[in-house]
Structure 1
Amino acid sequence: MWLNERQIQNQSAHTLLAYQRDVQDFFDFCTQQQLGLHQIEAADLRQYLATRVEQDQLSSSSLQRHLSAIRQFMKWVEQGGYLSMNPTEDFQLKRQPRPLPGMIDVETIQKILDQATPKKPLDQQLWLRDKAILELFYASGLRLAELQSLKIKDIDFKRLLLRVTGKGNKTRIVPFGQKAKDSVLLWLSIAQIWMGKLQPDFPVFISQKGHALTTRQIENRVKYQALRAGVNVDLHPHLLRHCFASHLLSASGDLRSVQEMLGHSNLSTTQIYTHLDFNRLAQVYDKSHPRAQKKSEFLN
């Protein structure tokens, strides 16, 4: 297999299938151009990628994925002794800036989290569950799959810590706040009504029938609660993750700590969550820089 074991472990089945399609598409192009593997040059790769952009309107990220798949395959062919030179080795695409996710201010988040409790008993129970979901997303910056797979034993209520299994099956410890703790404990008291005595291996977030909520169900409930709060925004789990990172960075400026909490391997990934708050920067500058004073002392 032209993808090594580590790469296979760190990729979803969907991604692996996409890589295979990308390489097959490149094969089809080479067949049309009557090119053998040993005849492929960088110019041919550039022509292929340009054709894909023109025909399929590929985004920058999709184009990079195509190139990555082809590069890995050609590297495998070279290591197998079928090629003396890999034309993709030094081939680079200019990376486009990663788009920033949307942004919601703190006041809007609070409006969603602090909205009124419904009057009907069942709606009250559902709201307490949804509120715990929202609070954990915003308190810890969890990915959707991480929250969906969270088990009761993964929560340390005493130390306010979560044990989270993220991408690549990597485990990390993430803190959460008092309000999230209160919401989760209140929700678990409702879960006991639905399921009876809770066990450590039980999923934290369940349906009335006692089944773990699916990722789609969680997404739908997040959207629903934003609408119920009267907030005109397409709220989804990744947006809450982004708000967690952005608001924490704005208050602390500690990029490394946020990187660890988000579970990012590279700091550059975390940097897309930074925003320049020009008012705050101006205040810091005016307060800190020795030449920033707008008035001299003798004019006061």
Structure 2
Amino acid sequence: MDAEPTATPEAGLPEAFAVALGEYERHLVSERDLTAHTVRAYVADVTSLLDHAHRLGLTRLEDIDLRTLRSWLARQQTTGKARTTIARRSTAARVFTAWAARTGRAPADAGASLARPKAHRELPPVLRADEASRLIAAAVAAADDGSAVGLRDVAMLELLYATGIRVGELVGIDVDDVDRERCVVRVFGKGRKERTVPFGRPAARALGFWLEQGRRELARPDSGPALFLGARGGRIDQRAVRTLVHRRIAEVPGAPDIGPHGLRHTAATHLLEGGADLRSVQELLGHASLATTQLYTHVSTDRLRRAYAQAHPRA
């Protein structure tokens, strides 16, 4: 479903800014096929930029130059915004100015020379291998009654941990996307980029139980092809998956409170600790840049240092 434009002249922006913002939002939705969450974030960042430009007395896109962008980012810093927020807003500004120049709404790309602030990225905590096993065991124990919901929950947790896919990718999987013979699943990541991700036998068994015994109990005539269904028979939503992960994590003594994205980080960390190479993990996770995947090597190194400090007599 297309998102409705959120910018209007009444929102406090000059009419030219508001019109451009509405057209940019439609571009993000219809041409770039971004998720609703990503569209909202981009639009909010660009709205902030245009509001700043308006406060500087500018009313046309062609008036926005590199100095305007730098002034806006400097203001973010002085108001205490985190480095990750400033880095994200810098990216949003560059994407917007590139679009404005490409579509003839501005004579040049003002953001082409904008330096990219280095974001200090901290990955969330990850589970140890034994904690991940206990997480799955907690879900299996809860599914002892053979309920459809219980079988579904086990299959979702197994697949999240086995593949490291994003929660949005999980809920978007259709039944035909799963190849149980080859133990691979097709997912569509950011920007609708398609990739195929393998999973192991435990996840294959859980998926088999769900498809053969559980799904048919929740399916309705209008359920469609969705692999995982909610209690009312529709495609399960991300919020329900997050609630499940947090609930089951709470049953694992000493485990950090993580959500589905924490399971993604856990899967990546365990792959690297098990000897997988960075390029393979990058492809499995669907990272556009190898630098993003390299962040997980820092997690592994930190865990190695902690183990060394605890175990070596001269640490």
TM-score category, normalised to shorter length: 0.7 to 0.9
- Shift in CA distance, 88/183, structure 1 to aligned 2, threshold 3 Å: closer
Q: Kindly indicate whether the alpha-carbon contact (under 8 Å) linking 1:103 and 1:243 is maintained by their aligned counterparts in 2.
A: yes
Match of 2:150 among 118, 124, 127: 127
Q: Is the 8 A contact 1:152 1:199 kept in 2?
A: no
Aligned counterpart, 2:72:
48
Q: Distance in 2 between matches of 1:154 and 1:52?
A: 43
Q: 2:228 aligns with which of 205, 208, 212?
A: 205
- Pick closer, same or farther for the CA change 1:53–1:208 going to 2, 3 Å: same
* 1:163 CA drift (Å): 1.4
Corresponding residue for 1:181?
Answer: 204
Structure 2 letter corresponding to 1:121? D
Q: 1:185 to 1:197 in 2, by over 3 A?
A: farther
Higher Cα radius of gyration: 1
Matches within 5 A, 1:1-300: 8-35=31-58, 42-55=66-79, 57-75=80-98, 80=104, 83=107, 87-115=110-138, 117-118=141-142, 121=145, 125-191=148-214, 194-195=217-218, 202-230=225-253, 232-274=255-297, 275-276=300-301, 278=304
What's the secondary structure of 2:212's corresponding residue?
helix
In the TM superposition, what is the alpha-carbon distance from 1:42 to its structure 2 partner? 4.2
* Aligned residue-pair number: 279
Q: 2:121, 2:155 → 1: CA distance?
A: 31
Q: CA deviation at 1:127?
A: 3.0
List per-residue Cα deviations over 1:170-224 (Å, max 9, x = no partner). 2211110011111111222332551479999632222344322211111111222
* TM-score calculated relative to the size of structure 1: 0.77
CA distance in 2, matches of 1:192, 1:39: 57
Q: Is the 8 A contact 2:195 2:286 kept in 1?
A: yes
Name the SS for the 1:223 alignment partner: helix
Highest RCO, 1 vs 2 (Cα 8 Å, sep ≥ 6): 1
Structure 2: distance between partners of 1:196 and 1:27: 47
5+ residue gaps, structure 2, are: 1-22, 309-315
Structure 1 position 278, deviation (Å): 3.6
Superposition deviation, residue 141 in structure 1: 0.8
Task: In structure 1, list runs of 5 or more residues that go unmatched.
Answer: 283-300
Indicate the RMSD between aligned Cα atoms, in angstroms.
3.5
Answer yes or no: is the 8 Å Cα contact 1:141–1:241 preserved in 2: yes
* 1:52–1:110 distance in 2 versus 1, CA, 3 Å: same
Secondary structure in structure 2 of the residue aligned to 1:114: helix
Q: Secondary structure, in 3 states, of the residue corresponding to 2:274?
A: helix
Displacement of 1:262: 0.8
Query: Equivalents in 2 of 1:119, 1:26: separation in Å?
Result: 50
Deviates more, 1:204-213 or 1:245-254: 204-213
